[in-house]
Amino acid sequence: MIQKLQHKSIYMPVLLMLWLGLFLDSQSLAEQVQYTQWATNGLVLFCFAWVYSRVTSKIKKLMLYGVVLALLGEVIFSILLGMYEYRLENVPLYVPLGHSLIYAAVFSLQKEKTIQRHKTRIVSFLYWGMVVYSSLWLVFDKDVFGFLCMLGILFFLKKIPGNELFFLLMFYMVVYLELLGTYYQCWVWPDIWFDQISFIPSSNPPSGISVFYFGFDIGCLWIYKKLNGKTWRRMKTLRRLSFLKQV
């Protein structure tokens, strides 16, 4: 029996918004219509408000922290370091909002009962799918940077047992985002890392670039812990009690 999807009103709009929003900000459409990026900004802002109204208070706070953290990260990695470049050589308003939306979408998707019921099999499938995906980019497009990032993900997953599902789902969400964004030429990754390190060639997009999103996820949670210490400790205590009851 297929169980009803309880959280699709959160992650489905985000998946649709990513496609439509990046299409509106595409290079080809911008050559025909002015101010298309502002249309994307408006769409993403509306989606942010929609998702924000449907998540828990904890995720609301994480989304807000995420906007600030993402904006800071974008300025550092895109504007200052030139790791990638947006179509108008700016940081579009929709980008930091989009980071938080992706976080909320993945968080809600992993909670679906159907996914939780088959968690072990899904994690195994996603894990090896990630390895194959990144290896193919390495073989056919010399994506050394992306492959190194993927190796970093493998190391990371071994260090955080119990959270593999969330981060593997995040990997594929970022793959979806990056393939759309680079296909529509909303942003571009240089042929070599930081456009400076010639012995580390890169694809557009790098296959394992989600490892940087993992840093974003962890950063949001770290801020939450620091600003909501009592709530965090109470939640951890309740989780321990729940685990002891199951034992």
Give the tens place of pLDDT for each residue, 23-42.
999 999 999 999 999 999 99
pLDDT for the residue 246: 45
The answer as to whether 191 is a domain residue is yes
The answer as to whether 18 is a domain residue is yes
* pTM recorded for the entire structure: 0.91
Determine the Cα–Cα distance for residues 122 and 132; give it in Å rounded to an integer. Answer: 15
> Using one digit for the tens of pLDDT, what is the confidence trace for 184-222?
999 999 999 988 899 999 999 999 999 999 988 889 888
The answer as to whether 234 is a domain residue is no
Contact present, 152 and 212 (Cβ < 8 Å): no
Task: Using CA atoms of 2, 112, 206, 208 in order, give the dihedral in degrees to the nearest 10.
Answer: -110
The answer as to whether 175 is a domain residue is yes
Contact present, 26 and 184 (Cβ < 8 Å): yes
Q: Residue 12 is which amino acid?
A: M
The answer as to whether 243 is a domain residue is no
The answer as to whether 88 is a domain residue is yes
The answer as to whether 244 is a domain residue is no
| Helix, strand and coil in the chain, % to nearest 5 | 70, 5, 25
Q: Residue 124 is which amino acid?
A: S
Angle at the Cα of 180 (from 208 to 14), degrees rounded to 5? Answer: 95
The answer as to whether 246 is a domain residue is no
Q: How many residues does the chain have?
A: 247
> Using one digit for the tens of pLDDT, what is the confidence trace for 151-191?
999 999 998 888 899 999 999 999 999 999 999 999 999 99
- The average confidence (pLDDT) of the chain is 91
Give me the residue label for tokens 């799918």.
129
Give the residue among 51, 46, 161, 164 at the shortest CA–CA distance from 103.
Answer: 51
Domain tally, the chain: 1
> Using one digit for the tens of pLDDT, what is the confidence trace for 234-244?
666 655 544 44
User: 21 lies in which domain range?
Assistant: 8-229
